[in-house]
Amino acid sequence: MMRGKALVALTTACVAFSLAAPAGDAHAGVRDRKHHLIKRAKSQLGTRYRYGGETPRRGFDCSGFTRWTFREVTRLPHSSMKQYRLARKPGYKRINKRAGLRRGDLVFFKTTSAKVGHVGMYIGRKKFIHASSGADKVTISSVYDRYYYGPRFRGAVRVPKLRR
């Protein structure tokens, strides 16, 4: 009787393993989600900046823009500091160096007296997309900008569904 149960358990495990997606497919899923996020974010280039805004129609502030961009992937709070603190939660990952950035990472900057005052999304090639109060619109900037964003970089957060 015990051997029969063990055989059933082993057979079930083998079938479940054979039906699981190959590792390459998991990477493709992450890559597709990142591509979708970047496409979604870029669709809002030029949308006006509005403090407290979180929709294309009313305009965006920085955390409202990232919240809107990520809404199909995860729920983000409407605060750059609260988004920054997500790295404390299980599954999220803090990235401290710009060299470690990956497309889809939330990037944070010290633009106010608070530890973090601005957030955007890294899109690759040393660039991030964000709702900028200075530009008064959604725009793309360099994370290495030596005059403003570069010296103010405070880190990044990788959300669980964008991790491999």
List the domains of the chain with CATH numbers. Answer: 23-162 (3.90.1720.10)
What is the distance between the alpha carbons of residues 133 and 52, in angstroms, rounded to a whole number? 11
Count CB-CB contacts under 10 A for residue 131: 31
Q: What is the pTM of this model?
A: 0.83
- Residue 1 neighbours by CB under 8 Å, 6+ apart: none
Q: Which of the following is catalytic: 14, 27, 36, 62? A: 62
- Residue 74 neighbours by CB under 8 Å, 6+ apart: 159, 160, 161
Band of pLDDT at residue 163, cut at 50, 70 and 90: confident
- Identify whether 35 is a catalytic site residue: no
Q: Minimum mean pLDDT among 24-33, 100-109, 118-127, 133-142: which range? A: 24-33
pLDDT of residue 134: 96
Q: Which of the following is catalytic: 14, 27, 78, 130? A: 130
Tens digits of per-residue pLDDT, 55-72?
A: 999 999 999 999 999 999
pLDDT of residue 12: 39
Which H or E run includes 123? strand 118-124
pLDDT of residue 26: 63
What is the distance between the alpha carbons of residues 142 and 123, in angstroms, rounded to a whole number? 10
End-to-end CA distance of the chain: give it in Å, rounded.
41
- Identify whether 36 is a catalytic site residue: no
- Identify whether 62 is a catalytic site residue: yes
